Structure 1
Amino acid sequence: MTKPIHVTSEIGKLKTVLLKRPDVEVENFTPDMMPRLLFDDIPYLPTAQKEHDYFADTLRDNGVEVLYLEKLAAEALDAGGDEVKNTFLETMLAESGYAAGVTHDALKEYLSAMTTQDMVNKIMGGIRKNELDFVPRGLVSAAEEEDYEFFMDPMPNLYFTRDPAASIGDGLSINHMTFPARQRESLFMENIIKYHPRFADQGVQVWRDRNHTTRIEGGDELVLSDSVLAIGVSQRTSADAIEDIAHNLFSSNSGYEKIIAIRIPHNHAMMHLDTVFTMINKDQFTVHPGILGEGGHIDTWTITQGNDGELSLDHRTDLKQVLKDALHLDDLDLIPTGNGDPIIAGREQWNDGSNTLAIAPGVVVTYNRNYVSNELLRQHGLKVLEVLSSELSRGRGGPRCMSMPLVREDL
């Protein structure tokens, strides 16, 4: 592969992936801050790092090149030069609530004195008030309330690299995310694509940028083939954002001709499509039975472009038949999380038993804690590579959530 981004399926042999190693950001908050930062628990960092290193080594052992977000972000800013670095810092401060003023000036001076890598790490990790010899005066923003410890919040969700951007064909979406806790994250990828020598001026297409008010996240974006996407209508992705990216893909010679929008429950437990549904082989998918209604039905809309250039929507409820028609399959195997047992399925879905990362057709990486689902996958003929998960799983994302494929082999 010569293109820096090339993903035309969920299952083609994975060649290059983007990860973010958990760092101080996953411990740099209190239980009171968990709802604000979208966490249900606080992982123990030393163990989370060991587990993440095991995950990265598992990918490397299977021929995958592993790149790290924090390193690429710093390299991109250095490659762009002082003006790019200054613009990035001004944008990050503005999106953190400091477009101007004395707090803005103090934070900018503090961050500008660091090396680029240290600056990136510090922004990701969060800036506590006691780090600066500075007391804000006058009117203050909500983030500067007297009893709040931070000037700039940590970004503990960053190790879920799937969501801020999503590779599609020879391009990507750089996403406007739903909640303020995550909206700054995609600024790193925007700068990487623009300025990092690996990606800049390499023909990478941005199918949708982050400068929107409608929301979309990568966990809802599944590349089923070189012409078909599935996108979840979820807590984190809105219908109007799906229609927008559909317009862009259909009008940009992207190769994509069909998008299957799948409506899933809008709740924290099933926040993205890939927490309840993933593709793991040419004719095999994992599915959490909790998303299916009576008779196994679920609302889907197949979006295509009409002759007049407008979007055409076909509403159906038989997910299996919709997938068979879109992918030209005679049959397919929907493998239920937890073997369909209501107690086991609910528990293992909460622990990301449905969030599998295919690294080749029929070869998946899963969390070891989901032993019922993993054994069922093996019974269905798949090769299952289990990774450690006691602390990583506390962030509510599995192997697919923790990885942004950049290059896959075509099928």
Structure 2
Amino acid sequence: MAEHPAHGVRSEVGRLRTVMLHRPGNELRRLTPRNNDALLFDGLPWVDRAQDEHDAFADALRSRGVEVLYLSELLIETLADADARETAIAHTMTDLRLGDTLRAYLTALLHDKGPDELAEILMAGLRNDEVTNTGSVVAALHAPDDFLIDPLPNLLFTRDSSVWVGDRVTITSLAMPARVRETQLTELIYRFHPRFAGTEHIHGWDKEFLEGGDVLALAEGVLAIGVGERTRPAGAERLARTAFAEGLAHTVLAVPIDQDRATMHLDTICTMVDTDAMVMYPNVAHRLAAATIRPGDDDDLVVEPLRPFLDAAASAMGIDRLRLIDTGLDPVTAEREQWDDGNNTLAIEPRVAIAYERNVETNERLTAAGIEVVAISGSELGSGRGGPRCMSCPISRDAL
């Protein structure tokens, strides 16, 4: 058996060894102007071009020695396990919209599929006109192009459904109903795929709302957790308690974030590009605050009052200050490049980061600050509002 890097992530910038991506597939071809809002996708991407851009993203990672795993391939391999198949089908059939007759029909249909076909349906969904003779009132009353099993276009953003904290994988809990099955499929992979045998899980898709884009490992033992519409205060508290109990962190910063389409998660506001440097949306940089949380006696938590985020982060990391690199050049440019994921970078190692090429001003600022920018095209990938960090789940990074 081939040797793989030890699983585990203890910082945002340690040399990246293994990452999980999801290559855009037929789930994106299911998007229409009628359903894209309900499926939480801002635009209708040109899928062939998005695939080309994603392939270039993966190639850029491989060229730097990073092992790239694909979620779809892992899922197919996972579904070869009988228990994994049963679990996947059972989770999918809990949708209350189906009714008993259609649920029984679809359960039998899914059991007849091989791993490849089953994985495709779980990811790309199933339309009403793709089944016949169901005997179901529900199917009879649905329009032909209505989905009986919804597609999962946001699988592209593998960061959201799991995040590694130390050597444990955090199975997240996605707040939006349209995305619940994503994290169930991710958990399935970590639970049943041989690659992850023995991996300990924390949190879970049925726990308090917590999304991976809100979790940043600022330094060894220091986590920042964005709190807003997606990750709720209870989710941040649960992860803090678990991280302290498991010895995975000594400090957690809970960071309230203003919620709009351009600042959905904490990593849409700031990302690390060096051990002491962060690229950040300047229009919120100096009003972003954090509550510092530390373990107290017994099961108690010590929660300090809100203070400026940059000060709280530097203190928790044990450094004098965090170097701040602004998104954009001026407030207007910053807002535009913030919308285009200008600061949603993925560090490959300290002072080397992948970023979208179109954010010219931000990339120039990064270069001037001593950061090597590996620029990739993202005109179609970015239509769902997410950059290189959103599209990647690091599984293994070197310790700093």
Listed as ranges, the matches of 1:194-205 within 5 Å are 194-201=191-198, 204-205=199-200
Return the alpha-carbon distance in structure 2 between the equivalents of residues 121 and 186 of structure 1. 16
Residues 1:247 and 2:229 are matched in the alignment = no
The answer to whether structure 1 residue 368 and structure 2 residue 357 are counterparts is yes
* Residues in 1 aligned to 2:221 and 2:351: alpha-carbon distance in whole angstroms: 21
Deviations 1:94-116 (A, max 9, x none): 14744x62211222233222220
Residue 386 of structure 1 is aligned with which of 350, 375, 387? 375
Cross-structure match for 1:104? 103
223-232 or 327-336: bigger deviation: 327-336
Q: Distance in 1 between matches of 2:234 and 2:160?
A: 18
Residue 3 of structure 1 and its aligned partner are, at CA, apart by 6.3
Check 1:144–1:389 CA distance in 2 against 1; reply closer, same or farther (3 A cut).
farther
In the TM superposition, what whole-angstrom CA distance separates every residue of 1:113-150 from its partner, at most 9, and x where no partner exists? 22202211122011111111135633x49x97447621
Secondary structure of the 1:42 match is: coil
- Corresponding residue for residue 165 of structure 2: 168
Please, which of 297, 301, 305 is the counterpart of residue 291 of structure 2?
301
Partners of 2:251 and 2:238 lie apart in 1 by 13
8 Å contact from structure 2 (residues 101, 134) kept in 1: no
Q: What is the aligned partner in structure 1 of residue 147 from structure 2?
A: 150
Q: Partners of 1:373 and 1:173 in 2: how far apart?
A: 31
Question: Residue in 1 aligned with 2:313?
Answer: 323
Using structure 2 for the length normalisation, give the TM-score: 0.95
Q: Which segment is superposed worse, 112-121 or 268-277?
A: 112-121
1:260 aligns with 2:222: no
Residue type of the partner of 2:203?
R
- Could you give the per-residue CA deviations for residues 191-250 of structure 1, whole angstroms, max 9, x where no partner exists? 11211111122xx221211122x2110000111122100010122100111101111111
Whole-angstrom distance in 2 between the partners of 1:120 and 1:109: 15
Aligned residues: 398
Partner of 1:18: 20
SS of 1:6 mapped into structure 2: coil
Q: CA deviation at 1:330?
A: 2.1
Q: Which residue of 1 aligns with 2:274?
A: 281
Is 1:410 the counterpart of 2:388? The answer is: no
| Contact 1:233/1:262 (<8 A) preserved | yes
Residue 407 of structure 1 and its aligned partner are, at CA, apart by 0.1
Whether contact under 8 Å (1:25, 1:125) holds in the other structure is yes
Match of 2:120 in 1: 121
Cα distance, 1:312–1:148 mapped onto 2, change above 3 Å: farther
Over residues 273-329 of structure 1, what are the superposed CA-to-partner deviations in whole Å (9 max), with x where a residue is unaligned? 00011111011001112224xxx2322101111124301111233222212211111
Which has the larger displacement, 60-69 or 228-237? 228-237
Moved more, 126-135 or 238-247: 126-135
Out of 338, 350, 354, the residue aligned to residue 343 of structure 2 is 354
Instruction: Note if contact 2:78-2:189 (Cα within 8 Å) is conserved in structure 1.
Output: yes
**Matches of 2:189 and 2:5, distance apart in 1:** 15
- Higher alpha-carbon deviation: 360-369 or 83-92: 83-92
Q: Which residue is equivalent to 1:231?
A: 225
Contact 2:127/2:144 (8 A) holds in 1: no
Matching residue of 1:60:
62
**Distance change (3 Å), C-alpha of 1:74 and 1:328:** same
Q: Which runs of 5+ in 2 are unaligned?
A: none
Which residue in 2 is equivalent to 1:137? 136
Q: Is residue 335 from structure 1 mapped to residue 325 from structure 2 by the alignment? A: yes
Paired with 2:294 and 2:4, the residues of 1 have a C-alpha distance of 30
Query: What secondary structure does 2:271 align onto?
Result: strand
* Shift in alpha-carbon separation, 1:54–1:322, aligned structure 2, 3 A: same
- Local SS of the residue matching 1:173: strand
Q: Is the 8 A contact 2:129 2:145 kept in 1?
A: no
Residue 161 of structure 1 contacts residue 401 of structure 1 at CA under 8 Å; is this kept in 2? yes
Change (3 A) 1:181 1:144: farther
Distance in 2 separating the partners of 1:262 and 1:63: 33
Do 2:128 and 2:142's aligned partners in 1 also have CA atoms closer than 8 Å? no
Cα contact 1:95–1:184 (8 A) shared by 2? no
- Answer yes or no: is the 8 Å Cα contact 2:215–2:266 preserved in 1: yes
User: What is the DSSP-based 3-state SS (H/G/I as helix, E as strand, rest coil) of the residue aligned with 1:120?
Assistant: helix
Q: Is the 8 A contact 1:106 1:134 kept in 2?
A: no
* SS across alignment from 2:19: strand
Matched position secondary structure for 2:375: strand
- 1:89 equivalenced with 2:89 (yes/no): yes
User: What is the deviation of 1:261?
Assistant: 0.9
What's the Cα RMSD here?
1.8
1:395 shift after superposition? 0.9
1:71 is matched with which residue: 45, 61, 73? 73
Q: Check the 8 A contact 1:4/1:199 in 2, yes or no.
A: no
Change (3 A) 1:144 1:362: farther
Structure 2 residue matching 1:326: 3-state secondary structure: helix
Cα drift, residue 2 of structure 1: 6.1
C-alpha distance in 2, partners of 1:218/1:83? 27
Aligned to 1:399, what secondary structure does the other structure show?
coil
Q: For residue 366 of structure 2, what is the aligned residue in structure 1? A: 377
Cα distance in 1, alignment partners of residues 272 and 95 from structure 2:
35
Alignment correspondent of 2:388: 399
